[in-house]
A and B are shown apart, each in its own frame.
Chain A
Amino acid sequence: MTIVVGYVPTPEGEAALTQAIAEAKKSNDTLLVINSSKGDALVDNRYAQEPDIQSIEERLADQGIQHIIKQPVRGHDAAAEVLDAADENDADLIVIGLRRRSPVGKLIMGSVSQRILLEADCPVLAVKAD
C-alpha cells in the first residue's frame, strides 16, 4: 500500500511531509514523495533542488520508512502529477499542504489542492502550515 505526498519546498509542503511521515509510520506503508514542475520556466522555486531532496531522503531513511522520491518534469501541473502517481500506485491516502489563497488569486490561477480534493479516488489528508 502507498501513501502519496505532494511536496514543495515551502512551510506548507514541509507540514504535509511531516504529516505523511507520521501516517506512513502508523500504517507501515510505502511513502511516495512527488515534487513536480511544469518545466516551462527557467526558474521554479517550487521545484526542490538536490540538497533539499537529499535531506528528505536521509530523513526518511532515518525513520526507517520505505520511500520513493519522484520529480517529474513533463509539462503537467502539480495536481495532475499527484493524481497520476496515486492512480498508478493504487494509493490509499494522498497528503497535501494547503496555503492561504485569495479568492482572486484562486480565480485566476486555479487551485492545485482543490483539484486534488475533487478528483482523487482515495481519501485526501490536507494539512496547513503551523
Chain B
Amino acid sequence: MDVWSSLMDGFATALTPMNLLFAVIGVLLGTAVGVLPGLGPAMTVALLLPVTAALEPTSAFIMFAGIYYGGMFGGSTTSILLNTPGESSSVVTAIEGNKMAKAGRAAQALATAAIGSFIAGTIGTALLAVFAPIVVQFAVSLGAPSYFAIMVLALLAVTAVLGSSRLRGFASLALGLAIGLVGIDSVTGQRRLTFGQPLLVDGLDIVVVAVAIFAVGEALWVAAHLRRTPLHVIPVGRPWMGKKDWGRSWKPWLRGTAFGFPFGALPAGGAEIPTFLSYVTEKRLTKHPEEFGKGAIEGVAGPEAANNAAAAGTMTPLLALGLPTNATAAVMLAAFTSYGIQPGPQLFSSEGPLVWALIASLFIGNFLLLLINLPLAPVWAKLLQLPRPYLYAGILFFATLGAYSVNLQAFDLVILLVLGALGFMMRRFGLPVLPLILGVILGPRIEGQLRKTLQLSAGDPAGLFSEPIAIVVYIIVALILVWPFIFKLIRRNRPVAATAVPGNSGATVPREAGGVSHGSHRADGTADGDGGSDG
C-alpha cells in the first residue's frame, strides 16, 4: 500500500538520532508552554521560527509538531491541579478534573488525561495519514474559484463561529487583512499601505507580526496584571488508574476522538467545540450522573481525548490544502512559506518525504509525551512556581532577538513594538487574536486566488461561481452568516429554557497564547453555539 510504505519511509527519517532529538525538544517545550497559562504552542512556534531558520525543514517541523501536541498534553495538568486551564482547549477538563483532584483523585485524573490524549492522538494521526492523501486527490481537482471560496469559509467560520462577539471577531479579522495588505501589489506592482516608507515595501514579515501579537502583546498584558493571589498545586503522587477507571475511561476516549478529529479538520475547527461536545455527551451517557459536577472521570477522559484528536485533525487541512484552522497551524503555515515550501495540495507530491516524516513524528511525539507526562505530571506543575517576571523577560528577549534576526533590520523592532502594543490593546478590549493571525497569513493567499479567478474570467465576477464546489461553499458561508438571525427568530417564537453552562462552573478565566480574552471568549462561544445558554 502506498500510504503504508510512505509512512514507513517517514518513520525512517523521523527516527534518525537528530530528528528524534528535535522531537524530544519539541515535546518538552510543548509540555512546558502547555502547563503555563498564557503561553501556548502558537507563541512558541512563532518565537522559534527565526531560530530554526538554519535547521533542516524536516527537523524544524518535527519540533513544531512536538510543541503542538505537547501543548495539548500540558494544558490538562494545569487544568486538573490548579483549576486554571493552561490552554483554551483544556477549559472543559478543569470542570471535572479539578473536582477529582480536590477529592483526592488527581492521580487518576492525570492518568486518564494522559492516556486518553495518547490514544486519541494516535488514532487521530492514523486518520490523518489515511485521509490526508484522499483529501489531496480531491483538492488537486479544485480550481482557483473553489480555493477562494474555501478560504473565505475558513476565515468567516473562525471569526463568526468562535468567539462571543462577532463584531470583535470581524474587527480583528479586518485588522489582520489590513496588515496582510501592506507591501507591493503582486499583479500591478503598486505600493499599498506603505505610507511612503521604503522599508514597508516588502510587506510585514509574518514572523514579526506573530511574535509581536503573541509574545509581546501577552507579555505586556501579564505585566499589566502581574499581581494575583497565588494558589497551591494539589499534591499528587504518580498518576495511575484502577481497573474501574479504565472501564469508565475507554469509551469516553473513543467518543472524544470521534468528536475531536472531524472538528479539528473543519475550517471552523479548533479544539474548543469538540471538547465541549464531548463533555456534554459524556454527561448524558454516563452511568454515574450523580458524580458529574463532583469529579467524574468521564468528564476528563472525553474532552482530553477530543482536544488531542482535534490537534491531529487540524493537521489534515494544513497538510492537504494549506489551510490552517487554528493559530498554531497558521504559524506553521507561515513556517512552510519561510522555508520556501509552497503549502497546498501539491505539498504531498513535492515535499512527500517531509510530510510523511512529519506524520511519523506525530506518532513518535505522542508516545514520547505519554512517557514524559504520565510519571512526571507533578514535576511539570512545579513550573508554575516560576516568578513570571523572569519568564516574560526571557520571552521578550527571544521575541526581540527573533524579530531582529529575520531581516537584520532595526525597523522590524519598531514594527514589533507597535504591533505588540496592538496585541495588548486587543487583549484589553477583548478582541480575539486568532482572526487577526489568520487574516495576516491567509490574506495574501486568498487575494492571490481571487486575482487568479478574476484574471481567468477576464474580470467578470461571475467567474467566482464557475465551479460547483465554490457554490456549495458559498451556500455554507451564507448559512453561517445568517444562522444566528434565524436562531434568534426561532428562539423568540419558542423560548427555550436556558440550560446551565458547565463552561463557567468555577474555572478561572482561561488564558492561552492566543490571548487572554480569546481563550475565555472561545470557551463561552462554545457554550453559545450549543444551547445559546449565554443569553
Contact = CB atoms under 8 A, between A and B. Distances in A.
A42 B229 CA distance: 8
Between A37, A39, A75, the greatest number of chain B beta carbons within 10 A of the residue's beta carbon is seen for A39
B82 interface: yes
A108 interface: no
A42 B84 contact: yes
Contact of B231 (A40, A43, A75): A43
Interface residues of B, number: 19
A124 interface: no
B387 A41 contact: yes
Contacts of A38: 387
B175 interface: no
Interface string A42-76: 11110101000000000000000000000001110
Interface residues of A, number: 14
B228 interface: yes
A49 B227 contact: no
Contacts of A40: 226-227, 387-389
B201 to A, nearest CB: 42
Given A39-B229, A39-B230, A45 B385 contact: yes
A73 B36 CA distance: 21
A60 to B, nearest CB: 22
Contacts, number: 56
Nearest to B36: A42
Contacts of B389: 40
B384 interface: yes
B233 A39 contact: no
Interface in A83-109: none
Interface string A25-45: 000000000000111111111
B386 interface: yes
- Per DSSP, chain A at the interface is loop
Interface string B202-230: 00000000000000000000000011111
B227 A43 contact: no
A39 B227 CA distance: 5
B303 interface: no
B9 to A, nearest CB: 44
Interface string B225-264: 0111111110000000000000000000000000000000
A49 B232 contact: yes
Between A40, A42, A45, A75, the greatest number of chain B beta carbons within 10 A of the residue's beta carbon is seen for A42
Interface in B347-381: 381
A47 B230 contact: yes
Contacts of A41: 230, 384-388
A14 to B, nearest CB: 16
B151 to A, nearest CB: 38
Nearest to A37: B230
A40 B84 CA distance: 16
A37 B227 CA distance: 9
A26 to B, nearest CB: 33
Contact of A47 (B227, B229, B381): B229
A42 B388 contact: yes
Nearest to A71: B229
Contacts of B388: 40-42
Nearest to B222: A40
Nearest to A42: B384
Nearest to B390: A40
A43 B82 contact: yes
Given A44-B385, A45-B385, A39 B226 contact: yes
A41 B226 CA distance: 9
Interface string B300-337: 00000000000000000000000000000000000000
A43 B81 CA distance: 11
B227 A73 contact: yes
Contact of A44 (B36, B37, B230): B230
A45 B234 CA distance: 10
A37 B84 CA distance: 19
Interface in B426-469: none
Nearest to B86: A42
Contacts of B229: 37, 39, 47, 73
Contacts of A39: 226-230
A108 to B, nearest CB: 13
A14 B386 CA distance: 25
A38 B230 CA distance: 9
The 7 nearest A-B residue pairs measured at CB: A44-B230, A43-B384, A39-B227, A47-B230, A40-B387, A42-B384, A37-B230
Given A42-B84, A73-B227, 20 more contacts: A37-B229, A39-B226, A39-B229, A40-B226, A40-B227, A40-B387, A40-B388, A41-B384, A41-B385, A41-B388, A42-B36, A42-B82, A42-B228, A42-B230, A43-B82, A43-B232, A44-B232, A47-B229, A47-B232, A74-B227
Interface of A: 37-45, 47, 49, 73-75
18 contacts: A39-B228, A40-B227, A41-B230, A42-B36, A42-B37, A42-B82, A42-B84, A42-B385, A43-B231, A43-B384, A43-B385, A44-B231, A44-B232, A44-B385, A45-B385, A49-B231, A73-B229, A73-B230
